[in-house]
Amino acid sequence: MLIAVILALALGTYAFRLAGVVLRDRLVLPDEVSRLLPMAAATLLAALAATAALTEAGAFAGVARPVGVLVGAVLAWRRAPFVVVVVAAAGTAALLRLLGVP
Partner 1 sequence: MLRDAAAIALACGVVGASFGAVALAAGLPIPAIVAMSTLVFAGGSQFMAVGLIAAGSPLAAVFAGLLLNARHLPFGLALGDTLGQRWRDRLLGSHLMTDESTAFALAQPDPAGRRRVFWLTGIPIFLAWNIGTVLGVLLATRVGDPTRLGVDAAFPAGLLALLLPSLRSAETRRVALVGAAVALVATPLLPAGLPVLLALAGLGVLLLPRPRREPAC
Task: Identify residues 24-43 at the interface with partner 1 (CB under 8 A).
Answer: 24-25, 27, 29, 33-34, 36-43
Shortest distance in whole angstroms from residue 15 CB to partner 1: 9
Please give the residues from 64 up to 83 whose contact with partner 1 meets the rule CB under 8 A.
64-69, 71-73, 76-77, 81-83
Q: Which of 21, 99, 100, 102 binds partner 1 (CB under 8 A)?
A: 21
**Is residue 63 near partner 1 by the rule CB under 8 A?**
no
- On whether the CB atoms of residues 60 and 54 are closer than 8 A, the answer is yes
Q: Cβ neighbours of residue 50 under 8 Å, at least 6 residues apart? A: none
Which residues in 1-102 belong to E strands, given as ranges?
Answer: 55-56, 59-60
Shortest distance in whole angstroms from residue 102 CB to partner 1: 11
Counting residues that bind partner 1 (by CB under 8 A) gives: 76
Centre a 10 Å sphere on the Cβ of residue 48 and count the other Cβ atoms it contains: 10
**Is residue 101 near partner 1 by the rule CB under 8 A?**
no
- On whether the CB atoms of residues 69 and 53 are closer than 8 A, the answer is yes
